[in-house]
Amino acid sequence: MKLAPGPAVNLAITETYQDGFKATWCPPLNDPQCAETWTLSTEVFSDMDGNIQILPEKQSWKYEAFIGDDLCQVVEERELSCGTRFKFIVAAVSPSGLKGDEEFRIDETKPC
């Protein structure tokens, strides 16, 4: 039986910039070995009515770092505009390609 990974743990926007943000998250608590890779996406709220623009996949800086005792993920996104409200979404993907539940955070880049 193939298992889908659980959701990311402790997803946080740890820093915002005028042109982006830094986010961190840790592997699922249950069966962390099921989280072989991660899908990342950023959605931008493009107007006051809450309409969303999904940004195309692009290069971002992703690396691993220890947060406490856990080997966690860190990513920096630096292609947004100042004063932009955004939604960052992350989901684990198993070795067999099953995508786990998404976790997300909504925040805003620093003003211009």
* Class at the top of the CATH hierarchy for domain 9-108: mainly beta
β-pairing, 85-93 with 52-54? unpaired
Q: How far apart (Å, rounded) are the C-alpha atoms in residues 105 and 55?
A: 16
The residues spanned by each domain of the chain are 9-108
Angle at 64 between CA 10 and CA 24, to 5 degrees: 30
Burial class (CB in 10 A: 0-12, 13-18, 19+), 48: exposed
Angle at 12 between CA 71 and CA 15, to 5 degrees: 105
Q: Is this model's pTM higher than 0.85 or not?
A: no
Please give the backbone phi and psi of residue 33, each rounded to the nearest 5 degrees, phi first: -65, -15
Per-residue pLDDT of the chain (112 residues; tens, 9 = 90+): 678 889 999 999 999 999 999 999 998 887 788 888 888 889 888 765 666 666 655 544 565 666 566 678 889 998 899 999 999 999 988 888 889 999 999 999 999 9
